[in-house]
Amino acid sequence: MDNMDKDFNQKLLNKIEEKHLAPKPRWRFLLKNWVIWIAGILALLLGAMAVAVFLYLFRHNDWALRASTDKGFWEFFFLTLPYFWLVFFGLFVFIVYYNFKHTKKGYLYPLPFVIIGGLLACLFLGLVFYKVGLGRIIDDVLGRRMPLYGEIFNPQIDFWSAPEEGRLAGVVVGATEGGDLVLLDPSGKEWEVAFMEQVGEVRLMMPEIGVGMPLKIIGEVSEKNNFQAKVIRPLGAPGHGFFTRPRSPAGVRFDCRPGDCRPPDFSGPQSYLRPHRFVN
């Protein structure tokens, strides 16, 4: 060994000694690997959940009712597409990809393999989650708790909350003396929904209407708080959690299962509105 080599070695040892350096413990590297794997698996599960909710919203978008609105197929498609869940899905597929690439051997796999693998794993698991009903559970929970649910998580609510354009969504809170429905919309506004005799062409696409039932209605605003219904339909599965939120000025809370609600201290008409009042 020549002197230059000895100098270098001595300098290196001095530096290690001066700075009290020592090899980092093995558990830190093991922990880092575990964190990468666990974060990747979590991202995979979250991405799959996004797929499950997307499928649930997409499947129950009431495509048949589109023809009764003034929207063409593509306009309806893009206005009700749950973009949030698509973005959420994309984000978590990216995180799956990123974490996989940062595992010990992740760099050996080509980019398309990792991306397509992550996509397929998320889609497959998402389909399983959807089949076991996780999409519905997540939608219900978010509907009950999350702010901006109708604007972000479930655009169907926003789409059906446009009375000026002939679309009204809300929950039945009672009936007037004249037998019209009283509907509470997501903004807390009460509507009297007239049908049959006045319009003469209401299509009731459900067996019966009860208090606490979320509905979507196609028609037109006749007066400030009056809506003339042409088509009445139950809201469909997505968004039911959302309509159990307390909204009425009296603070009536529909703390119940979707479609089976009875406000605990509701003082209005309790009886079901019978379907014979409507023209099918």
Partner 1 sequence: MAEEKIALNVAEKSDEELVNLALKNRDDFLYLVDRYKNRLTAYIRRLTKASPEDAEDILQEIFIKVYLNLNEFDRDLKFSSWIYRITHNQVISRHRRLKARPEGYAVDIDDAAARRLASDIDIAAATDLTILKENILKVLSYLVPKYREVLVLRFLEEKSYEEIADIIKKPAGTVASTISKAKVEFHRELKKSGLKFHS
| Residues found near partner 1 in the complex (CB under 8 A) | 1, 5, 8-9, 11-13, 15-16, 21-26, 28-29, 104-105, 107-110
CA distance 5 to 11: 10
Is residue 196 helix, strand or coil? Answer: coil
Pick from 269, 183, 243, 272: nearest CA to 219: 183
Of the pair 26, 224, the CB lying nearest partner 1 is at: 26
Strand partners, 172: 183
CB of 37 to partner 1, least distance (A): 15
CA distance 12 to 275: 89
Pick from 197, 212, 231, 227: nearest CA to 273: 212
Of the pair 25, 200, the CB lying nearest partner 1 is at: 25
CB of 18 to partner 1, least distance (A): 11
CA distance 244 to 29: 48
Q: How many residues does the chain have?
A: 280
Separation of CA 127 from chain center:
16
Separation of CA 87 from chain center:
12
Of the pair 105, 224, the CB lying nearest partner 1 is at: 105
CB of 104 to partner 1, least distance (A): 6
Of the pair 5, 265, the CB lying nearest partner 1 is at: 5
Of the pair 13, 86, the CB lying nearest partner 1 is at: 13
CB of 97 to partner 1, least distance (A): 14
Of the pair 35, 141, the CB lying nearest partner 1 is at: 35
Pick from 185, 154, 181: nearest CA to 169: 185
**Which tokens go with 173?**
């809170």
Pick from 268, 259, 272, 154: nearest CA to 215: 259
CB of 7 to partner 1, least distance (A): 9
CB of 118 to partner 1, least distance (A): 16
The sign of the dihedral angle between the CA atoms of 131, 136, 142, 148 is positive
Of the pair 8, 124, the CB lying nearest partner 1 is at: 8
CB of 35 to partner 1, least distance (A): 14
Report phi then psi at 182, rounded to 5: -110, 120
